[in-house]
Amino acid sequence: MGKDQNIILLDGCTIHLNSELGYTFVQSYPPTSHTEKMYPVNLDNEYKLTEKRLGYGSQTKIVLASAIDHDTKQFACKIINIKSLVKELAEKVKIQLAIIRHVQHPCILKAIKVNLLSEDNAFVIMPIYQGGTLQDFVLQRQRLPENEARFIFYQLIRGIIIIHRDLKPENIFLARDKQFPRIVIADFGLAAWMTETSFLSEDVGTLAYSAPELVEGKQYNAQIDDWSIGAILYFLLTSRHAFALDGAEDEDIQKLVLSGNYDTSNPVWPEVSSEAKKLIGELLAVDPKTRIRAGSCLQSEWILKDLDMLERIYLATESEVP
Catalytic residues: 166
For 14-154, list the strands marked E by DSSP.
14-16, 22-24, 42-43, 47-56, 60-67, 70-81, 113-115, 121-126
Element (H, E) at 172: strand 172-174
Beta carbons within 10 angstroms of residue 61's beta carbon: 17
Length of the chain: 322
Q: How far, CA to CA in Å, does 307 sit from each of 155, 213, 302? A: 12, 32, 9
- Contact status, residue 168 vs residue 236, Cβ threshold 8 Å: no
Give the three-state DSSP class for 320. helix
Supply the DSSP symbol for 293. Answer: P
Taking the C-alpha atoms of residue 116 and residue 93, their distance in angstroms, rounded to an integer, is: 10
Cα–Cα separations (whole angstroms), residue 78 to 64, 115, 158, 213: 9, 10, 25, 31
Q: Which helix (H) or strand (E) holds 303?
A: helix 301-304
